[in-house]
Amino acid sequence: MPIDRDTVSDLRPLEFRTPEEVLDGDKLYTIYEIARLLQGLDADMEMDRPTENILLDWAIPWVLFHADAFVFAEPEADDEPGYYGLAEP
């Protein structure tokens, strides 16, 4: 449900960073790690599943939008996530 703009005290512009600004070119990351990095968190930070799911809602479209900047490595096992890295480190 929409809220009145007047009820919010801290409005900021959206700031979208490029993959090169977020990721280290010499590393590969899971989508979960990318989601954390996009929020300025440590890639290996522990978090609860509901919060992690919210971060994924931002990270997945961001990765898709910048798909040409990424390479993909298959997961080590069928029940693990794949890894993403910069196409040009």
pLDDT of residue 28: 97
Please give the model's pTM, rounded to 2 decimal places.
0.84
Handedness of CA 35, 55, 78, 63 (dihedral sign): negative
User: Percentage of residues in the chain with pLDDT exceeding 70?
Assistant: 100
pLDDT recorded at residue 69: 96
pLDDT at 27 over 80: yes
Over residues 40-68, the pLDDT tens digits come to: 999 999 999 999 999 999 999 999 999 99
pLDDT band at 89 (very low <50, low <70, confident <90, very high): confident
Q: How far apart are the first and last CA of the chain?
A: 43
